[in-house]
Structure 1
């Protein structure tokens, strides 16, 4: 048993750091969300920010783009060309994706300064990509409403998770302690 623990120590350390940081960040996020009363259709501040920023991006293409609170559920209605296109819910804000990104980055330890900078810049990239994703999805749904399933369920998640995966590869191969130990050999 001891040999197995020694043999798999790097993996077990990675797994422990990942699970611990993911759980901690998820608990913090959930406590943030619990401050909002969904029974009164309150939308959390970050989701509202994402909706407002998406509205701004859409307004570059169409001056008749706007948002409004959804009266029957905790979401924000998104209008493009004066047409109700979609709703922005808590799951659209990409914070769960950012939490996953941060947990993985922390699990593959790197120098403290590099870790903080990479997490900050990576989170900004994911956020900007998410705003762009929602805006492009609204435009695409306006023109191709019959493609909703493939656009919302396949293509756009593939893009955002693909970018997160590429960020992870960059982190592991360039900045983590794993990359440093490989470079020294």
Structure 2
């Protein structure tokens, strides 16, 4: 059969590169738009952190963040306590002073209380440990406990040059927290670094 009249011409190398560039641009724009939507519409949540390793010669100034809710004693929380590495989980958070606290962790997204938020994460590890537990008066006991390490995708944050080491080791009496916005899907985005409750760096909208 003669196909000379099909009218289709093979794409040139330049055309293929242009299409690839347009697709990459569209994906990047979608990611940026999703993050901005999260910052604009998400529930503001304050998380306590333990910052470590704030400097990388390959990535510039950044803070590597370890969150208090990144180490959950799941045998003391509502929800599922038989979690396994690699699972997606949903952590229920409720307001606290100054930081929000985890009250439960589930494999399936729970219905969030009006005062709370649900944060989606991934289980990095689960371990059986021995934990201290307060008893009556001033006594403490060592009891078996089950700890899960949870990754939320907000563990690294780029900061203005030279600020990483300043925030790594707060001066005595200084407290550093992270404010995040949590959208309806449970995805968080860092919106501000707080020092003693006051924003030092804030993420703006576009």
TM category, shorter:
under 0.3
TM-score, normalising length: structure 1: 0.27
Q: Which structure ranks higher in relative contact order (CA pairs < 8 Å, sequence separation ≥ 6)?
A: 2
TM-score, normalising length: structure 2: 0.26
Larger radius of gyration: 2
**Greater helix fraction, Structure 1 or Structure 2:** 1
**Greater strand fraction, Structure 1 or Structure 2:** 2
